[in-house]
Structure 1
Amino acid sequence: MLLAIDAGNTNVVFALLEDGVVRARWRIATDPRRTADEYGVWLHQLIALQNYPRDVVDAVIIGTVVPRALHNLEVLATKYFGVEPLVAGVPPADWGIELDVAEPRSVGADRVVDAIAAHAMHPGDLIVIDFGTAATFDVVDYTGAYKGGIIAPGINLSLDALVTAAAKLPRIAIQAPEDNLSVIGRTTEDQMHIGIYWGYVSMIEGLVARMKAEIGRPVKVISTGGLATLFDRHTNVFDEIEPDLTIQGLALLWKRSVGAA
């Protein structure tokens, strides 16, 4: 089975895939200091809990936006699974799509992988929104080329900044306001919920509308990330939600790379 590893700024996601189907997934907080041995003990225990044998992994692909985390993940693959990992964007796992932007090398691996998966799943022009540490809005044209996009603070990052900078504001959960019809809060907590949640929904809708107008052709909006379903409850801006978009992109990249080898 293929072990796909998506190392983001907040979490590292590990997923076992069989013939492109996700059979199991786990996540752990990103810490560049975490050693391959720590990963190995933790991951082997989780694999065993899913009733898979220790040697179930016969291929590994890694995508990361945290360069310091890469070495220990590569050692994990070679030491604990006995395989040489592929690294997304590094030969032989080249992107295989055009990065039509001013600085192609600066595009995060997760964004390119999302573009690869989205284009494979959906025809035509696309806007791909990934709700992570940062919220990214990426344009993929009908040929599969990555055309650029937008980076905005993630909702958790925005809330952390608000609470940290304002001494009297409490920490609240990320959720829709209890009164879905009112945007005038009666308590401090209600006002924060409204500002964070509806402010973010308004940002999503506004940016997507501007992107669609600039593209000038019919566009399908694909969203991914843990908070996509939360926002989907109160906006019709998303055409599809793909929870495993990044993992599926890594699997596609691995398949292309092995096929080309």
Structure 2
Amino acid sequence: MILLVDVGNTNIVLGVYHDNKYMTSWRISTDSKKTSDEYGIQVNALFTQNNLDVKAIEGIIISSVVPNIMYSLEHMIRKCFNMDPIIVGPGIKTGINIKYDNPREVGADRIVNAVAAYEMYKRSTIIIDFGTATTFCALAKNGNYLGGSIVPGVRISSDALFERAAKLPRVELEKPESIICKNTVTSMQAGIIYGYIGQVEYIVKKMKQEMMELGEEEPFVLATGGLANLIARETDVIDKVDSRLTLEGLKIIYYKNRE
């Protein structure tokens, strides 16, 4: 079995694969104040609840966009699993060519998603990851990572409205029946959700246009992340939602680098 760890700004996703097949995954809060022992207790409890043996783990890979949590995580892994993890970063084999001004600036999560999309679909692709920030990545058919855009995530946008406007409440991220609303809560929900859908549709339209001007076929649009389904249900620009895209990318990179 192998353990895949994706560290995001809000959550850490841990996935277990056996013989190249998905077994289970868990989501825990990202907290830079936790010690390696606290993370160890959490991870051991998750394995125990699912009748899995930590000693059966043969390899571990981590992608992270939160540098200040890595010491605790790496130390926890050495204590709990008695091995060093593979860290997604410079020098790691990915199979894609990053056409960024400075490739080191590209977040590990974006690289992992691009690797998964390239290996699984082998076509021009726009990858949208609805996380703490929402990222849009353009991937050429030949595996060139062309770049992309980054915007505040849906929850960040919603929280900013609550925190900066004194009379506006915090609201659940739900789509109201109408965009012409009769109260403050549904008015905010309509603006946040429908406005975000419009943003996604416009960015995808412009990215498709630029990619096709470069000679690419019309890109396939792939979405992942916690709120992907909420947005995908309301627009036809997203072709597929793949909730395990990042884990699949980590698995692929692990097997490319396990030697």
TM-score range, shorter chain: over 0.9
Deviation at 1:240, TM superposition (A): 1.2
8 Å contact from structure 1 (residues 89, 95) kept in 2 = no
Deviation at 1:54, TM superposition (A): 3.2
Q: Distance in 1 between matches of 2:90 and 2:84?
A: 13
8 Å contact from structure 2 (residues 95, 143) kept in 1 = no
Deviation at 1:33, TM superposition (A): 2.1
Aligned residue in 2 for 1:153: 152
Query: What code does the residue aligned with 2:221 have?
Result: V
Aligned residue in 1 for 2:65: 65
Could you tell which deviates more after superposition, 12-21 or 106-115? 12-21
Aligned residue in 2 for 1:224: 224
SS at match of 1:44: helix
Indicate yes or no: 2:15 matched with 1:15.
yes
Aligned residue in 1 for 2:174: 175
Q: Distance in 2 between matches of 1:255 and 1:3?
A: 12
Aligned residue in 1 for 2:25: 25
Could you tell which deviates more after superposition, 129-138 or 67-76? 67-76
Deviation at 1:36, TM superposition (A): 1.4
Deviations 1:219-240 (A, max 9, x none): 1000000111111211111111
Deviation at 1:22, TM superposition (A): 2.2
Q: Distance in 2 between matches of 1:85 and 1:27?
A: 19
1:214 counterpart (210, 215, 229): 210
Could you tell which deviates more after superposition, 56-65 or 17-26? 17-26
Aligned residue in 1 for 2:200: 204
Query: What code does the residue aligned with 1:88 have?
Result: V
TM-score by length of 1: 0.95
Identify unmatched segments of 5+ residues in structure 1: none
8 Å contact from structure 1 (residues 20, 248) kept in 2 = no
Q: Distance in 2 between matches of 1:203 and 1:256?
A: 36
Query: What code does the residue aligned with 2:36 have?
Result: A
Query: What code does the residue aligned with 1:21 have?
Result: K
Deviation at 1:90, TM superposition (A): 4.4
Aligned residue in 2 for 1:79: 79
Query: What code does the residue aligned with 1:164 have?
Result: E
TM-score by length of 2: 0.95
Aligned residue in 1 for 2:127: 128
Q: Distance in 1 between matches of 2:34 and 2:97?
A: 34
Q: Distance in 2 between matches of 1:122 and 1:173?
A: 34
Aligned residue in 2 for 1:104: 103
8 Å contact from structure 2 (residues 113, 249) kept in 1 = yes
SS at match of 1:55: helix
Q: Distance in 2 between matches of 1:110 and 1:23?
A: 21
Q: Distance in 2 between matches of 1:14 and 1:235?
A: 30
Q: Distance in 1 between matches of 2:117 and 2:221?
A: 10
Q: Distance in 2 between matches of 1:45 and 1:51?
A: 10
Indicate yes or no: 2:191 matched with 1:195.
yes
Query: What code does the residue aligned with 1:58 have?
Result: E
8 Å contact from structure 1 (residues 139, 148) kept in 2 = yes
8 Å contact from structure 1 (residues 183, 194) kept in 2 = yes
Q: Distance in 1 between matches of 2:85 and 2:231?
A: 35
8 Å contact from structure 2 (residues 90, 104) kept in 1 = no
Deviation at 1:21, TM superposition (A): 2.3
Identify unmatched segments of 5+ residues in structure 2: none
Q: How does 1:46-65 map to 2 (within 5 A)?
A: 46-65=46-65
Deviations 1:71-98 (A, max 9, x none): 111112211101111001244x333321
- Give percent identity, aligned residues only: 40
8 Å contact from structure 2 (residues 3, 61) kept in 1 = yes
Query: What code does the residue aligned with 1:124 have?
Result: R
